[in-house]
């Protein structure tokens, strides 16, 4: 089959790389892609949000399966548009993508279906006074969230009521987050360990990907600013089999059943961003797509014909025979440009990409080619990913950092502690 991947980051590189290994795939296109993806797919120069252009391209090239990476086109309704044109596409419809596109929708949905999530209240533009009264009666810290997509920047953790009030004021009165901030969610702050649980579903049946952990802050020990994600590993030992079963029972199954009951069955990859608390797992957010960098570590751990798995989910008849998990672990360390996540430098020559050892892949996030050189072209530049077949996490982490040592570009920054939380947990004396 001919496959089109939409997007241009590390997640899309991992999808392309894995789809290329599927026996059922004859050709992979990626739109718009990047310098690394260009080594494995034919690039198409259309933006991920150019839905008209993408429908026209997929129709003309008779694409059998389109896989969408980022959230914007999904929330804009790319899946509905492809379906209307008779094209098969992996991802949720616009109505189902509201689980990510509107935090107010997601919270109200979870309340309707008894899905565990932090306590909250939603306020619209004309309800600022009610928000102030609510915050005055609540115990800080509080979390203030813009309703719509805000490229990962719409969540403010407020230590004091004053900060929470200022955050709400900024969103509802000012224009800090544009249309995305016209409605806000204020919720209780939860303590615990975060984990990302992703599934692939046809709306009814689902197969799980190994639980993964992202590292959102820029600096070691979870200090510094929030970023798109500085690294990930899977499987995350914070989720054992018993907890995974509980997550399925209390979160995933009710989410899929709730979406079906409300007339918008969810097909595609559903990402549950969870906090594992003393009283069980709770949903902090849903995403309507693979995570980035989580995709770089969960997709390589899938065995079987990946394209067939996604195609069958998109067609509403999940083929579980195309699903198996590999025994082992995967670790991705993001190499970022100087300055990231604030203003960053680009155009720096990257060295060392040609001599990586087996078991390591450099997924490109923000790169471009210039003659024979690969240059940095984004905040997150590369995801150095080690896939340790049958290996434990400690050795996989070591392989990934050895590979990082081979790469250089001016101003390169990365975290030195990816996976450390897991090692601490694995080596802690059992409390059971
Ligand atoms: P979200 O986009 O809703 O996942 O929020 C981004 C990040 O903010 C999460 O990954 C958490 O680290 C943090 N966060 C969001 N909501 C909460 C909460 N209720 N309690 C504690 N941390 C939170
Ligand atoms: N890694 C977080 C996300 O993809 O949203």
Helix (H) or strand (E) holding 261: helix 253-261
* Residue 236 region by backbone torsions, left for phi larger than 0, else alpha for psi between -120 and 50, else beta: beta
Alpha-carbon distances, residue 386 vs 161, 298, 362, 423 (angstroms): 43, 11, 9, 16
List the beta strands (DSSP E) in 96-141. 120-123
pLDDT of residue 180: 59
Nearest partner of 336 among 327, 348, 328, 325, judged by Cα: 348
3-state secondary structure (DSSP) of residue 401: helix
Ligand 2, pocket residues at CB < 6 Å:
214, 229, 287, 291-292, 294
Q: Which protein residue has the closest C-alpha to ligand 1 atom 7?
A: 155
Over residues 62-85, the mean pLDDT reads 98
Alpha carbon of 336 to ligand 1 centroid (Å): 22
Alpha carbon of 334 to ligand 2 centroid (Å): 13
Summarize pLDDT for 267-282 with one digit per residue, the tens.
Answer: 999 999 999 999 999 9
3-state secondary structure (DSSP) of residue 308: helix
Q: Vertex 251, ends 321 and 231: CA angle to 5°? A: 75
Summarize pLDDT for 302-327 with one digit per residue, the tens.
Answer: 999 999 999 999 999 999 999 999 99
Rg (CA), the chain: 21
Q: Which atom of ligand 1 is nearest to the CA of 118?
A: 19
In the β-sheet with 27-32, what is the strand arrangement from edge to edge?
Answer: 42-43, 27-32, 2-7, 65-68, 89-90
Q: Give the list of residues 6+ apart from residue 46 with CB closer than 8 angstroms, or none.
A: 31, 32, 53, 54, 57
Find out whether 94 and 69 touch, Cβ atoms under 8 Å: no
pLDDT of residue 432: 45
Where residue 137 falls among pLDDT bands split at 50, 70, 90? confident
Where residue 172 falls among pLDDT bands split at 50, 70, 90? confident
Task: Decide the pairing of beta strands 328-336 and 324-325.
Answer: unpaired
**Cα(236)–Cα(308) distance, integer angstroms:** 26
pLDDT of residue 271: 98
Nearest partner of 71 among 3, 30, 11, judged by Cα: 11
């Amino acid at each position: 089959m001919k496959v089109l991947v939409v997007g241009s980051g590390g997640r899309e590189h991992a999808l392309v790389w894995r789809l290329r290994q599927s026996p059922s795939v004859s050709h992979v296109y990626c739109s718009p892609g990047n310098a690394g993806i260009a080594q494995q797919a034919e690039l198409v120069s259309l933006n991920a949000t150019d839905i008209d252009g993408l429908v026209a391209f997929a129709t003309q090239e008779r694409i059998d399966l389109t896989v969408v990476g980022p959230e914007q086109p999904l929330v804009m309704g790319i899946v509905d548009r492809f379906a209307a044109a008779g094209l098969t596409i992996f991802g949720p419809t616009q109505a189902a993508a509201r689980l990510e596109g509107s935090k107010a929708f997601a919270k109200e949905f979870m309340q309707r279906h008894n899905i565990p999530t932090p306590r909250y209240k939603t306020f619209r533009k004309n309800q600022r006074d009610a928000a102030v009264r609510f915050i005055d009666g609540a115990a800080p810290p509080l979390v203030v969230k813009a309703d719509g997509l805000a490229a990962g920047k719409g969540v403010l953790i407020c230590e004091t009521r004053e900060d929470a009030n200022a955050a709400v004021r900024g969103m509802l009165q000012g224009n800090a987050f544009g249309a995305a901030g016209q409605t806000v969610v204020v919720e209780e702050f939860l303590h615990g360990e975060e984990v990302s649980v992703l599934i692939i579903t046809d709306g009814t049946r689902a197969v799980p990907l190994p639980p993964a952990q992202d590292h959102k802050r820029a600096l070691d020990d979870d200090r510094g600013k929030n970023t798109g994600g500085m690294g990930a590993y899977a499987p995350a030992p914070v989720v054992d089999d018993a907890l995974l079963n509980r997550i399925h029972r209390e979160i995933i199954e009710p989410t899929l059943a709730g979406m079906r009951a409300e007339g918008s069955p969810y097909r595609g990859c559903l990402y549950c961003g969870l906090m594992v608390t003393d009283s069980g797992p709770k949903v902090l957010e849903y995403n309507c797509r693979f995570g980035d960098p989580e995709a770089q570590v969960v997709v390589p751990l899938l065995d079987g014909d990946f394209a067939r798995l996604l195609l069958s989910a998109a067609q509403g008849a999940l083929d579980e025979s195309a699903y198996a998990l590999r025994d082992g672990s995967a670790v991705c360390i993001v190499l970022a440009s100087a300055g990231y996540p604030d203003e960053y430098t680009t155009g720096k020559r990257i060295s060392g990409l040609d001599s990586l050892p087996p078991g390591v892949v450099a997924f490109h996030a923000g790169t471009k080619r210039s003659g024979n050189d690969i240059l940095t072209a984004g905040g997150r530049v590369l995801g150095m990913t080690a896939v340790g077949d049958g290996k434990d996490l400690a050795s996989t982490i070591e392989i990934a950092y050895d590979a990082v040592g081979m790469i250089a570009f001016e101003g390169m920054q990365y975290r030195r502690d990816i996976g450390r939380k897991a090692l601490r947990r694995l080596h802690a004396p059992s409390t059971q």
